[in-house]
């Protein structure tokens, strides 16, 4: 399956497309193509997975419009949240506070604000965006480990191609840089304070209204924004069902997977889980020395389950540990009364992820399917 080419014909310039309404027709036609991914032969056909597939596409559409239409001007950048409680992309970390910005390697930027108290902040620049670029590489990375901020708790980060490390914190870019991602990992949600950041461009060409203020909306801007949004929906959905296809080859096990948009400090174990009634998946691991870690349970579409209402993720702070410091995670439809229970929330299968961040000598976790009754009996004996 390949992403459809919905590019307008050369005869339809942006002005004609906007005035005629063709720009909206093209957007709707391209968006409709994304339904092929939910309906493909390999995709699950039961009602819950199918319903979540349609919701997933609606969520990707919201995110795509926010990214490409509302926040797509690199000369007037905005930090937007591509993944959050009701938009979930590619095994989104429930403990993460994600922010993105569309930027351009030809410009310089300043990212500044309060440092907050979260244990981990990783900030990367990248050469592309899902769906819009065939090859995506990291073009720079900055880890704020050990950076407390100034006497007022503030930080200032220079983002540029030129080395500005003598001026303070510097995040590199290249000519082809197009995207900024800020990842903040919370452990104690009640006490951890995320960094409150803003971004501004320092050398964009003349703005008609004011620096860092978007110019009046043009036909070219809205046409490109809608075209890019539709491409993002299809390609993003296609990428992550491809991941699931790969993980499904070895069910109830985990493997590592690296992408150009990843965080280099994460060792991320991905997997596909599937259970019959009365079964549980037991995950056993010895957490390594690390800044933070988290585990999450996802649906088939690589969306974290609804952590607002169900126990479906844990982290270094919230986990219950065994006497020897090891970790037992139980995935099942019912609480067995031992370990760290992850509620499948009505799902019979899905994906999962375990991140160790800035870890020393992390080991692969062990997974095995066991009778749920066996775990309940163990809990009764305890």
168-194 pLDDT, tens per residue?
999 999 999 999 999 999 999 999 999
How many Cβ atoms are within 10 Å of 89's Cβ, its own excluded? 23
pLDDT of residue 10: 41
User: In whole angstroms, what is the distance from residue 88 CA to residue 284 CA?
Assistant: 26
In the predicted structure, residue 290 carries a pLDDT above the cut 50? yes
- 299-316: average pLDDT: 97
Boundaries of every domain in the chain: 1-71+215-239, 74-208, 250-381
In three-state form (DSSP H/G/I as H, E/B as E, the rest C), the secondary structure along 6-21 is CCCCCCCCHHHHHHHC
pLDDT of residue 218: 94
Give the percent of the chain with pLDDT over 90.
Answer: 89
In the predicted structure, residue 360 carries a pLDDT above the cut 80? yes
Of 53-62, 75-84, 200-209, 373-382, least confident by mean pLDDT is 200-209
In the predicted structure, residue 121 carries a pLDDT above the cut 60? yes
Residue of 262 and 56 predicted with greater confidence: 56
In the predicted structure, residue 1 carries a pLDDT above the cut 70? no
Question: Which pLDDT band, with edges at 50, 70 and 90, does 11 fall under?
Answer: very low
CATH class of 250-381: mainly beta
Question: Which pLDDT band, with edges at 50, 70 and 90, does 221 fall under?
Answer: very high
**Do 74-208 and 250-381 fold alike per CATH?**
yes
- 215-239: average pLDDT: 95
Question: Which pLDDT band, with edges at 50, 70 and 90, does 156 fall under?
Answer: very high
pLDDT of residue 209: 65
In the predicted structure, residue 213 carries a pLDDT above the cut 90? no
In the predicted structure, residue 211 carries a pLDDT above the cut 90? no
Give residue-wise pLDDT tens across range 248-280.
Answer: 999 999 999 888 888 999 999 999 999 999 999
- 104-131: average pLDDT: 95
pLDDT of residue 40: 96
219-253 exposure pattern, b = at least 16 Cβ within 10 A, e = fewer? eebbbbbbbbbbbbbbbbbbbbbebbeebbeeebb
- 367-380: average pLDDT: 97
The beta strands (E) that lie in 38-118 are given as 96-102, 109-114
Average pLDDT across the chain, whole number = 94
Residue 242, H or E segment: helix 219-248
Judge: domain 74-208, CATH 2.60.120. yes
């Amino acid at each position: 399956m390949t992403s459809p080419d919905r590019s307008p014909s050369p005869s339809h310039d942006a002005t004609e497309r906007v005035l005629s309404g063709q720009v909206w027709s093209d957007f709707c036609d391209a968006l409709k193509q994304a339904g092929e991914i939910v309906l493909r032969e390999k995709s699950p056909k039961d009602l819950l997975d199918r319903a979540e597939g349609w919701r997933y596409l609606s969520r990707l559409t919201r995110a795509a419009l926010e990214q490409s239409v509302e926040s797509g001007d690199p000369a007037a950048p905005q930090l937007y949240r591509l993944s959050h409680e009701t938009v979930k992309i590619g095994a989104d970390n429930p403990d993460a506070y994600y922010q993105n910005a569309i930027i351009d390697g030809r410009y310089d930027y300043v990212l500044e604000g309060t440092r907050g108290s979260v244990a981990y902040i990783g900030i990367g620049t990248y050469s592309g965006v899902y769906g819009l670029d065939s090859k995506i590489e990291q073009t720079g990375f900055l880890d704020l480990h050990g950076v407390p901020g100034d006497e007022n708790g503030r930080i200032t980060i220079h983002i540029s191609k030129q080395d500005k490390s003598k001026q303070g914190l510097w995040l590199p870019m290249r000519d082809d840089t197009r995207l900024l991602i800020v990842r903040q990992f919370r452990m104690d949600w009640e006490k951890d304070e995320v960094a409150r950041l803003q971004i501004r461009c320092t050398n964009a060409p003349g703005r008609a209204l004011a620096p860092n203020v978007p110019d009046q909306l043009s036909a070219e801007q809205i046409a490109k924004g809608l075209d890019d949004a539709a491409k993002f929906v299809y390609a993003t959905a296609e990428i992550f069902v491809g991941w699931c296809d790969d993980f499904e080859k070895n069910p109830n096990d985990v493997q590592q997977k690296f992408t150009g948009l990843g965080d280099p400090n994460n060792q991320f174990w991905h997997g596909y889980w599937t259970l019959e009634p009365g079964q549980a998946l037991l995950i056993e691991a010895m957490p390594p020395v690390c800044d933070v870690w988290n585990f999450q349970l996802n649906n088939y579409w690589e969306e974290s389950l609804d952590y607002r209402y169900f126990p479906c993720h844990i982290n270094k702070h919230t986990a219950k540990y065994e006497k020897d410091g090891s970790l037992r995670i139980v995935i099942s439809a019912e609480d067995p009364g031992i370990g760290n229970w992850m509620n499948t929330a009505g799902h019979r299968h899905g994906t999962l992820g375990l991140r160790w961040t800035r870890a020393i000598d992390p080991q692969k976790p062990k997974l095995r399917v066991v009778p749920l009754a066996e775990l309940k009996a163990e809990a009764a004996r305890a």
